[in-house]
Amino acid sequence: MAQNPPPPPPPPAGGDGGKNLSPSGKPGSQGWSRYAVWILLGAVLAAFLVTSLIPDESRETIAYPDFLSRTLEGDITEGSYDNNNGKIKATDVNGIEYASNGPTPLPDADVATINSNIEDFEYKTPTAGFLTSMLPLLLPIGLLILFFWWMQRRAQGQMGSVMSIGRSKAKTYSSERPGTTFDDVAGYEGVKSEITEIIDFLKTPDRFAAIGARVPKGVLLVGPPGTGKTLIAKAVAGEAGVPFLSVTGSDFMEMFVGVGASRVRDLFESARKMGRAIIFIDEIDSIGRKRGAGLGGGHDEREQTLNQMLSEMDGFESSEGIVMMGATNRPDILDPALLRPGRFDRQIVVPLPELSDRQQILAVHMKGKHLADDVDVNLIARGTPGMSGADLANLINEAALYAVRDGVDEIHQRHVEQARDRVLMGQRRDTMALSDDEKEAIAYHEAGHAICAAVLDKTDPLHKVTIIPSGMALGVTMQLPEEERHIYREDYIRDRLVVMFGGRTAEEIVFNVVSTGASNDLMQATSLARSMVREWGMSDAIGPMAWGSQNQVFLGDDLMHTRDYSDSTAGEIDKEIERILREQQDRCHEVLNSYRDGLDLVARALLEHETISGDQVAELLGLPTAAKPDESRDSDESIDSDDAPAEGTDTTDLITSSESSES
């Protein structure tokens, strides 16, 4: 059985890939010849300048009047005068040589004095040599010649780059420098197991061929931004033991027509020369969008690049040992031909990390950090639902920055809490000036949210309440879920609506007037109620029907949204949304009226301390501070697993129950 040829050795160190190596193997030999002309020219110019500027060090320089006085005294025996520049050279009776500068021309009296007192004195008018006289003319001509020669070299270099513009820009990683392995990827065991199967095929293809198994040609990593798709691909490069070619989708796009298709051909040709290899295309949606969607026809450059990629993927067999990997967070806009069996026929979902995954990711990012004993990784993981790996890394870094600002050597739990508030709600605005009436209104607003969250059975446990302005919010009531939620029961959603109405209702009960502070609460409550009626079938009047598409608009695919129900049905939907909201508002009134004294206690505590914990709220209300019983959160077996939370109810919103927004 013929074996695939081994991969070629990596190129020599240096950005030129070994192109500037001399026959002896030493770099820079051609670079020396490149500068030889300039060095020679500089040496010639320096020789002329040195000979013309260096003075005659063998003669003593004297002033011209001193020369005349010595001439009158008879000390000068011989000399010469240059009629061009007035330089005088003289020798006295002792053989000492002098130099002086006289006027040009010499006065007649001085000429007579010199001629009568010096027997051997010459008047010279030297003429310039050929090279000296031609130098002012040759120098500009030489500079012009050098300029045009330099321009020609530049043009040749640009022509070479233009001729190589169709070559792939993929970075090649060999097995000798893995850099990242699966040990550096925390969590995601299911994703690792699927990709490990691809790696095993590349390492031992005979084991798969013996049973007749065919490994997919293409693997597509799909997931939200920040979940570590590129990191997983780098780990594959470290674990595979085969060459790994990495390129981004934008590397195929240039201003020249046909460059993208040419680079795709060159990429696959390079992979074939390596034998077994992995091709990774990051952000593949930039070139893999649906063809024929939007403006532009079949000759669009992006479509030509995609067509060439599809053709190349069909051109190599699985026995060649080439596996493609792609990463995207927009699988909905990819062309169906790219996802069919035989191309990217396996999609691996890289979701947002679960609770256990977040604990492992936090442990990785906490390595090398000085942590205090009060830091609870489990509590941090519980308080960060919906955060990606990148968000968690940023959270720990922000906590370290807060520790530095406090002037301590360790990261404490309070620093992590401050960092989480900073990431979720924005920077605290301690300098914001609020009047006493505004502070009181905000305190009662947040107290209303907190009491509803603490009293109702189906809500998430209350974590803390604050009236310190953060970001765009003037106050925040925060809840921490006890466990990961993937589906949401109707009673949980209705209690959540009651908590959203808690702030507005508290203001209405205490002040007999409402304010603009509940604008964000009303938007979230209306969106949640609309999803209950239109998508989840939680209305008896409308029935178990789903109305309205929630798909994202893609140019050319869903440019015009059409309503798939009549005006009368739209009116019924609006009535049901209003009925649900009013019912939960009435429930909120009942809860807060029954805890009217507790509302004053919590509000006064907020005005005094600005931030109080959920246990403190429970103590003020006379409630047990322990966690709510598990039986109050029984299983969700009555809800279909295909249900998904709507906008405003996903896991990223569960941590912040409500905010009092600025007007």
Amino acid letter at 485? R
DSSP assignment string, 5-44: PPPPPPPPSSTTTTTTB-TTS-BTHHHHHHTHHHHHHHHH
Residue 239 burial by Cβ neighbours in a 10 Å radius (0-12, 13-18, 19+): buried
390 in Cβ contact with 656 (< 8 Å): no
551 in Cβ contact with 332 (< 8 Å): yes
CA distances 200 to 192, 194, 196, 214, Å, are 12, 10, 6, 12
517 in Cβ contact with 445 (< 8 Å): yes
DSSP assignment string, 492-561: HHHHHHHHHHHHHHHHHHHHSS--GGGHHHHHHHHHHHHHHHHTS---TTT-S---S--PPP-TTTS-S-
Paired tokens of 469: 């302005």
287 in Cβ contact with 253 (< 8 Å): yes
651 in Cβ contact with 485 (< 8 Å): yes
Largest CA distance in the chain: 137
- In 252-370, DSSP assigns E strands to 277-282, 322-328, 346-349
Paired tokens of 109: 């009296």
Q: How many other C-beta atoms can be found within 10 angstroms of the C-beta atom of residue 438?
A: 14
Distance CA 496, CA 507 (A): 18
Q: Prior bond to 107 cis, omega within 30?
A: no
Catalytic choice (301, 440, 446, 576): 446
Distance CA 53, CA 39 (A): 21
Asked about 446 being catalytic, the answer comes back as: yes
Q: How many CA atoms lie within 13 A of 326 on its CB side?
A: 27
Q: How many other C-beta atoms can be found within 10 angstroms of the C-beta atom of residue 376?
A: 12
The phi and psi torsions of 200 (rounded to 5 degrees) equal -65, -35
C-alpha 463, offset from chain centre: 33
Which positions are catalytic?
446
